[in-house]
Amino acid sequence: MRHVLSAALLLPVLFLAGCGGSAPPPAAPSEAAPRPVAAADDVLVPLFGDWGLDPAQCQQVIRISKTRFEGAENGCDIASFTDNSDGTFTAAMTCSSQGTSVDEQIRMRPVFAPTGEGVELTYLNRDNLETTLLRCAPPAAD
């Protein structure tokens, strides 16, 4: 009986040992992530315009153009836009406020919300702080 029990315990070990002790086969090479490239002007157009937190009351507007990012208390010169190949674009900027200048990067994603066209902003130099702005209506003609 002891021989049968010993064989029953030893048999699975032998089967596992027979599976080969070699290292697993190398993993198939994965596709490299697409490298960011300079964004073409035509794909940036949805990012440009006047934006606010509440499109019905656009008193504090953020204005984005190809060369400027203007806020209520600061202005930034945009050096370049990078196409991140995932529907987002990163603006490399130098911002000035109250005599201080700092380099910033903001990732922008055009979005469509129930209340209209928008842009999601992620401030990469500020712990990925996120906000969504909605397009402000153009001022009414007098």
Nearest in space to 105 (alpha carbons), one of 51, 36, 56, 42? 36
What pTM was estimated for this model as a whole? Answer: 0.68
What are 54-105's pLDDT values in tens digits?
877 788 899 999 999 998 778 999 999 999 999 999 999 999 888 889 999 9
Cα dihedral sign for 49, 52, 57, 61? negative
Q: What is the mean pLDDT of residues 40-52?
A: 87
Please name the residue that has the structure tokens 């380099």: 103
In three-state secondary structure terms, 97 is strand
